Amino acid sequence: MRPAHRATDGGPTPTERAVVVRLDPDLRWLLPPRYRTGGERALPFDPDATVGHLVQAAGVPLTEAGRVLVDGVAVDLTARTAPGAVLEVVPAGRPQPVPAGGFLLDVGLGSLARRLRLLGLDAAWRNDADDPELVAQAVAEDRVLLTQDRGLLMRRALPRGALVRGSGTDAQLADVLDRFVTAPAPLTRCTACNGELAPVPKAEIADQLEPGTRRTVEEFSRCTRCGRVYWRGAHAARIDELVAGAAVTPAGPTRRGARGR
């Protein structure tokens, strides 16, 4: 008797009634290296396994999957399969909306968090949050969790997440801006704490400034949360370049210049 479907190298044999998970080329980098060329992975048939379980077992967090077809028919992630079924996984669509709470970044993406804040995007981050705390914060504050940790995205309690692509901050920022519909308001958030910036009279913060700054700068902003003071300083050109690269228009004259007390 002819087997229902051939097994992928390293996967189940035909006698184990393989279910094959086949990935769109844009998702194949998530497979173990030996499976990437063929773009599919065979898994043992389990009558209790849902489509969602099989997609994750192949190495793809559900946050990265869009439509899933079983033998050519679109199905819900809670559907079950049959022996020999072929699952085709399409990438999550782009761009996606950002939930009302904004972004939450895991501990490894601090530089990306600061870049998002420069663009005025709500990006919560701290360097000591563990995985359960991140999931709880994402739920409590209605945020989408950005991470490069696939295991974190596979936690069942996490409602929204995204696997950030890129090995450097520039590439990571480009990926996030491509994936999500954002409304940048550059230079309106504190890069240190994510608080909102508000104009502040020079007289109120003069005692925090170096003499040269007091002489040459007239416009300042202050973080409404931590009190840090910002102005257009030496890094203005680099920040303008970042804003231009994100295809947005600066919303105000302030730039990070000094930390408030």
Q: For residue range 143-175, list pLDDT tens digits in order.
A: 999 999 999 999 999 999 999 999 999 999 999
Which residues fall within 8 angstroms of residue 164, CB to CB, at 6 or more apart? 109, 112, 146, 147, 148, 172, 175, 176
pLDDT, residue 122, reads: 98
Ranges for all domains in the chain classified under CATH 3.40.50 = 95-183
The CA distance from 29 to 72, in Å, is 23
pTM score, whole prediction: 0.86
The CA distance from 27 to 50, in Å, is 20
In DSSP terms, which residues pair with 96 in a beta bridge? 180
Helix (H) or strand (E) holding 73: strand 73-75
Ranges for all domains in the chain classified under CATH 3.10.20.30 = 14-91
Q: Are 225 and 198 in contact (CB under 8 A)?
A: no
Residue 207 has pLDDT above 70, yes or no: yes
User: Class assignment of domain 14-91?
Assistant: alpha beta
Which of the four pLDDT bands, split at 50, 70 and 90, describes residue 93? Answer: very high
Torsion of CA 38, 30, 28, 156, to 10 degrees: 110
pLDDT, residue 16, reads: 58
Structure tokens, 115: 């870049």
95-183: CATH, from 2.60.40, 1.20.950, 3.40.630, 3.40.50: 3.40.50
- The H-assigned helical ranges of 142-232 are 150-153, 169-179, 202-205, 211-216
Which of the four pLDDT bands, split at 50, 70 and 90, describes residue 240? Answer: confident
The CA distance from 152 to 174, in Å, is 22
